Amino acid sequence: MLVGDRIREARIAKSLTRKDLGDMMSVAEKTIYNYETNKQAVTLDFLEKLSDILGLDYEYFVHKSKSISLNDGVHKLSISPKPTAQINTDIVQIPIYDDVVASAGGGVINDEYPAQSVGIDKGFLRTHFGLSSFLGLSIITAKGDSMSPTIPENCQLLVQKSVPKEGQICVVRIDDELYVKRLQKLPKYRLISDNKSYENIELEGREYDIVGVVVGFFKRMI
């Protein structure tokens, strides 16, 4: 079931017309139609607002491997420490590291203990984050404003283990600290903040490890 199908199912369960829902969401009835028929990509902001308005769990729209009551009124992303028993090949289980914070400011010391995971639909990841591979994904938290306005403070980062290209935003470990910065390779390796109030971090002559590339971010899900 695609995201649009779930929007339609939730709307009907709440006895709303497309016009009713459009008025509640401050969008045109045609937009609701396009979303429900999967003719137009649904934005994350729309899904977050829709979850609020309908009183549904955000997970209902991005992951439906288990039954979720349309009237339970829960408003946060439900997560489980292990995948569900029924395997769904369209769902990617992504570990969430609750205690891992990548600094978008000064360095932050981390203890890496994967606590739980969240199941997200591959189609959703493909549409909203442009992913073609779903390997090596994880979710951590960004702290600080050094990557503002590109990355908001205290959001959750979707990180993928891969070799970063010139200018990509990545998570880098220096000693016991993690940083989320833009990588410059030429003329020499350094980490650059999008917020110009912060100084660059020179990497030459230092021991560091590139953890992965930031492929996107979520507003706080949990």
Quote the tokens at residue 45.
């902001």
Q: Which fold has domain 91-218?
A: Umud Fragment, subunit A (2.10.109)
Q: Does domain 3-62 have CATH number 1.10.260.40?
A: yes
Q: With a cut of 70, list the residues of the chain below it in pLDDT.
A: 1, 58-59, 62-89, 98-115, 220-222
Question: What is the per-residue pLDDT for 78?
Answer: 33
51 Cβ contact list (under 8 Å, min separation 6):
57, 58, 60, 61, 75
206 Cβ contact list (under 8 Å, min separation 6):
174
Question: What is the per-residue pLDDT for 106?
Answer: 47
- How far apart CA 183 and CA 167 sit, in angstroms, is 5
Which sequence spans correspond to the domains of the chain? 3-62, 91-218
- How far apart CA 143 and CA 178 sit, in angstroms, is 10
Backbone angles phi, psi at 75, to 5 degrees: -130, 70
- How far apart CA 92 and CA 128 sit, in angstroms, is 14
Question: What is the per-residue pLDDT for 139?
Answer: 87
Question: What is the per-residue pLDDT for 168?
Answer: 92
Question: What is the per-residue pLDDT for 220?
Answer: 61
Question: At which residue do the structure tokens 């932050």 appear?
Answer: 108
Quote the tokens at residue 139.
């979710």
Question: At which residue do the structure tokens 């833009």 appear?
Answer: 182
Question: What is the per-residue pLDDT for 170?
Answer: 92
